[in-house]
Amino acid sequence: MVILREKNRPCIYTAGISSPGTDSNFKTMATAYGRLQLQHAERFILGGNAWVQFWNTTTDNQYRYKVLEKSDDRFYVYWLSTKGKYYIGHIRNRDYHIPANKNENQLQSAKVFAYVWKHIRQLDLEDFIHVQHLGRCSVCGLTLKDSKSIEIGIGPKCLKRLQVS
C-alpha cells in the first residue's frame, strides 16, 4: 500500500493555510472544501479542469493535483507542490500512465496518484483516504455554491451539459 506522504518531508498542506505555489489560482484554493463520495470522484477528476486533494486522515499526509483535459483525448496530471506545478503523468482511456525520468518527490506523488486512481476506478478506496475538491467546479472552475454541487464537485450548468452529451 502507498502511504500518502512525501519522503523525508513534513506534510506540505494543512487545511486553512495558503500555499506559496507558483500558480496564482492555487493560492486562492488552499483549503480543501469538500469530500467527494467515491462514486462521484472519477467523474469529478475527469471533468477537464479539476483541482483535487488526496488526504490520508491516519497520517495527515496530503497531495494536491490539477488534472487538465487536452485536445488529444488525454487528461494531464500535475502535482501541486510548494515549489510549483509538476507534470507527473496522464490519463488516457481511464488508465493512468507515469512517464519515465521523474525525480524522487515527483515519482512518489505519481505513485500516490496511481494508487488512489486505481482504487477510485474499482470503487474500493480505504475510508481513511479522502478525495477532496477545493470548492471549484471540475469542468469550468467556478466556485461551487449549492449543496448538490458541493457534494459532487460539479456546478449545476456543467452537470446538465455533461448529462446531455
For the entire predicted model, the pTM comes to 0.78
| Residues 9-47: b if buried by 16+ CB within 10 A, e if exposed | eeebbeeeeebebeeeebeebbebbbbbebebbbbbbeb
Per-residue model confidence as pLDDT tens digits over 38-88: 999 999 999 999 999 999 999 999 999 999 998 888 999 999 999 999 999
Cell triple for 54: 488526496
